[in-house]
Amino acid sequence: MFDLTAIHRRLFYTLFALLLLFSSTQAAEPKQKTILIRSGWQTVNIGDIGHTPGTLRYLETYLPDVKVILWLHKTTDDVTAMLQKRFPNVQIVQGRLNSRGKANNPEFQKAFDESDLFLYNSGMHFNQFWKPPTYVIEACTATNKPFCLYGQSFDGFAPEQEDEMSKLLSRAAAIYTRDVESFYYLRKIGVTSPSLAFGPDGCFGIDVRDDEKANAYLKAHDLAPKEFITVTLRSNTPKIGAKKGTVMNPTKPSKADLAQNELWTKKLRELITDWVRKSGKKVLLAPEVNKEIIHAKTMILDKLPEDVKPYVVNRDPFWNVDEAASVYSQAIAVVSMEPHSCIIALAMGTPTMHLASPRHGLKRWMFRDIGISEWLFDIDADPASQFTTALLKIDAKPKLAKSKVNRAMHTVNTRSKEMMGELSEVLTR
C-alpha cells in the first residue's frame, strides 16, 4: 500500500523548498537604478535643445541598465516628438520643484522620489549674472539624494557669494566643468566635491537627424553637399518677446553693444566676401537662436557686396536641432559665434571654427580643451583675414581637417565614457 501521508509530506517539503528558492532569488535581484535628468533650457536655441539628446545618448550607451527620467524645463510638440522617437524608453515629466523636494504635480513628485541620482545637465546657470538654481541643491540635500552637475561652465560668483556657493557646490557627488577655466575657478573658491573634474558638454553626444527636411531645404536653395559653409551670428540684441534682458541679451542695447554688433558683423561680412570670391562656393547664414534670423539679414546679407549676395542664403524660418545637425553634416565647415553649432558640427564629423567674444563667457575654452585651439578665435581682437586663412585651409585639406575632428571627438567621447562610469559608481554606493 502507498503511504499517502509520506507522499504528501515530501510534496509539501519540495514545494516549500521551491518557494524559499524563488523568494531568495527574487530578493537577490537588485532594484533598477533611476537617474532624473534636468534639461531643455530653451526651445528658441538649438544648442539648448541639443544638450538633451546628446546627454541622453551617453546615458543610453554607457548606462543601459539604468532607468532615465527626463525633467524638461521647456519643450514644444516638435522637440518632444523628436526626443520620444529617438529615446522611446525615456519617461518625460514637467513641473516645478521647491527647495524641500516637493513637486507641484504627482507624476513629477513620483519621478523625483524614485530617482537615485539627480543630474543637472549642461549649461552655465551657476554664476553672478543671474540667480543660480540653488533650490535643486537644497531639494537633493533635504531628500538625501546625490546630485551631479554635468558639463557646466562657472563664470564666477560675486565675491560675497563665493563662500556660500562653494559650500553648496561641495555637496555635489560630482561636478564636471565643460571648460578647464571653470574647473580652476571652483578649485580657487574652495569647492570640495568628491569628483571635480573637466567633463565635456552633453551636446557632444547628439546623434538626432532629419535628413529628409535638410535635403529638401538644401535642394530648394541650391546648396550642394560639401559645397557650402555655414555662418552663425551672435548679436547684442534682446530675445524675441523678452520682457527682461540679460548681460548677453540686453533689452535695450547700449552704444557699446551696438558698436560691438557692428564690429562683429563687419568681420563676418569680410570673411564671407573673401570666402565667396576666393572659393566660388556658397554660404548659409544658419541661426543657433531664432532672434538672429532678422539680424543676419539686416546686418550681414543686406550689406554684402552685390557680387557676393547671390552666393548667400539666410536660413528662415527657424529649425529644430535634428534638421540643423543634418545640414551641418553636409557643410564644408561650420563657422559660428555660438559654441553649440560648433559642437553639433563636430558630432556630425564636420570641421568648425568658433569666433568667440570674451563677453560670452568661459564656454569658448571648450574647444581649446578638446584639442582644436587652431579653430578658436577671438572675434573682438583677431582680424578677419585669420578666419579666412583657416577656413580656406580646411577647404583645401579636407582629410587633414577631418582627422582633427576625429581626434577632438575621440577626446570628448573617451572622457564622456569615464564620466558615465563615475556616475555608475555614485549609483551603486
> Containing domain of residue 376, as a range?
211-411
Q: Are residues 237 and 364 in the same domain?
A: yes
User: What local confidence, expressed as pLDDT, does residue 318 receive?
Assistant: 98
Distance (Å) of CA 267 to CA 16, 272, 291, 349, 416: 82, 9, 20, 26, 35
**220 within a domain of the structure (yes/no):** yes
On whether both 222 and 339 belong to a single domain, the answer is yes
- Residue 332's alpha-carbon distances to 215, 217, 233, 398, in angstroms, are 15, 17, 18, 8
- 282: which DSSP letter? E
273 and 197 both lie in a single domain: no
Q: Are residues 320 and 252 in the same domain?
A: yes
Summarised one tens digit per residue, pLDDT across range 40-65 is 999 999 999 999 999 999 999 999 99
Q: What is the DSSP code (8-state) at residue 174? A: E
Taking Cα atoms as reference points, which of 86, 127, 62, 24 lies closest to residue 325? Answer: 86
Q: Is 26 a member of any domain?
A: no
Query: Do residues 82 and 183 both lie within one domain?
Result: yes
Closest CA to 366 of 124, 169, 132, 140: 124
* Same domain assignment for residues 82 and 64: yes
Residue 61 lies inside a defined structural domain of this protein:
yes
Q: Are residues 176 and 241 in the same domain?
A: no
d(CA 117, CA 312): 47
* 30 exposure class (CB count in 10 Å sphere: 0-12, 13-18, 19+): exposed
* 7 within some domain: no
Residue 29 lies in a domain: no
The verdict on 222 and 201 lying in the same domain is no
Residues 187 and 306 in one domain: no
Residues 287 and 399 grouped into a single domain: yes
pLDDT computed for residue 301 by the predictor? 98
The pTM of this model reads 0.93
The reported pLDDT for the residue numbered 19 is: 56
Answer yes or no: is 310 within a domain.
yes
Domain count, the chain: 2
Fill in the amino acid letter for 361: G
Taking 70 as the pLDDT cut, the residues of the chain under it are 1-29
Q: What is the DSSP letter of 97?
A: B
Distances (CA, A) of 254 to 237, 258, 317, 381: 10, 6, 28, 20
Report the candidate in 235, 298, 267 with the shortest Cα–Cα distance to residue 381: 267
Is 25 inside a domain boundary?
A: no
Domain of 257, CATH number, reads: 3.40.50.2000
Q: Which helix (H) or strand (E) holds 40?
A: none
CATH number of the structural domain spanning residue 94: 3.40.50.11720
28 conformational bin, left if phi > 0, alpha if psi -120 to 50, beta if neither: alpha
- Report the C-alpha gap between 270 and 327 in whole angstroms: 23
On whether both 44 and 188 belong to a single domain, the answer is yes
Query: Domain for residue 128, yes or no?
Result: yes
Within this chain, do residues 142 and 197 fall inside the same structural domain, yes or no?
Answer: yes
- Three-state DSSP at 378 gives strand
- Tell me how far apart the alpha carbons of residues 249 and 245 are, in angstroms, rounded to a whole number: 6
pLDDT, tens only, 142-162: 999 999 999 999 999 999 999
